[in-house]
Amino acid sequence: MTSKTDEDSSVDFTLCPRFEQTFSFLGKKWNGLIIDVLLHEGPQRFRDLARKVPRCSDRVLVERLKELEENGVIVRQTFPDNALIEYELTQKGQEFKAVMAAVHAWSDKWYCSTETDQK
């Protein structure tokens, strides 16, 4: 992410494209919360996810689930004997566990629930 050259002792703060892409992906509204629900609750049906992410419209939830699937973070499982469809984290998605735990710890420390706690 940073590098120094012999000729120039200044630090290069140019972001690595993968780092930038990852933050853009996780920062997209609802992606982090969907991943967090699947990490804590396991495989979920669409209706269950919709209840656990209530402020996200069904249309946006469908878009986010497709995006997460296209990025290999979740897999959409269809069961042939009934109309059951579940969304489940892939191994790639499971590897967000440590990241999400660190984000929760940081936010618990620095983003308090009351204004007086934030000062």
pLDDT digits (tens, 9 = 90+) for 14-64: 778 888 888 899 999 999 999 999 999 999 999 999 999 999 999 999 999
Q: What is the mean pLDDT of residues 97-110?
A: 94
118 has a pLDDT exceeding 80: no
Report the number of secondary-structure helices (H) and strands (E) in the chain: 7, 3
Q: Is 49 exposed, middle or buried (0-12, 13-18, 19+ CB in 10 A)?
A: buried
Task: Tell me what pLDDT residue 16 has.
Answer: 87
Q: What's the pTM value of the predicted model, to 2 decimals?
A: 0.79
More confident residue, 103 or 1: 103
